[in-house]
Structure 1
Amino acid sequence: MALMNFLVTGMSCGHCAASIKKALTGMPGVSEVDVDVAAGTVTVQGADLDDTLLRAAIVEAGYEVPGTVAV
């Protein structure tokens, strides 16, 4: 099981968290999504995760992904 942590900017509320969860849930390989609005992080767990596709989905939802967080 892989684990990816992203720094995400532009999140400010529970609706933001829900939008990102919705964008990532159901993507290939994704089994769990955790959004921490206060910390500005999104953690994705799953198998064979594609960093580029996950970042693109977050950006498509309206947020920026300036980097990753060490696991």
Structure 2
Amino acid sequence: MQNVTLKVEGMTCGHCVSSVEGAIKNVGATGQVDLSAKTVQIQFDESKLTLDIIKGAIEDQGYDVG
């Protein structure tokens, strides 16, 4: 398992947290958003999933991933 923390711009509320965490879950990873820090800590199996797929899922929700 790999752990990564990403900066996510555009999150402002609880709905944003749900959107980002849901997008991560939908691709097969787990994530926990820190809204005040505007980050998300992600845990995933790198043999089944790439970081680019996870970033794309978050960006598809309308957020900028740094």
* Structure 1 and Structure 2 fold alike (TM over 0.5): yes
CA RMSD of aligned residues (A): 1.1
Gaps in structure 1 of 5+ consecutive residues = 67-71
Q: TM-score, normalised by structure 2?
A: 0.88
Number of aligned residue pairs: give it.
Answer: 64
Gaps in structure 2 of 5+ consecutive residues = none
Contact 2:27–2:57 under 8 Å retained in 1: no
C-alpha separation between the residues in 2 aligned to 1:53 and 1:17? 18
- SS of the residue aligned with 1:25? helix
- Could you report, residue by residue, the CA deviation over 1:32-68 in whole angstroms, capped at 9, with x for unpaired residues? 21001110001111211411111111110110012xx
What is the letter of the counterpart of residue 25 of structure 1? Answer: K
Give the number of the structure whose residues are more often helix, by fraction.
Answer: 2
Q: TM-score, normalised by structure 1?
A: 0.82
C-alpha separation between the residues in 2 aligned to 1:26 and 1:59? 13
Q: Percentage identity across aligned positions?
A: 34
- Could you report, residue by residue, the CA deviation over 1:10-43 in whole angstroms, capped at 9, with x for unpaired residues? 0001110000111110314x1x210011100011
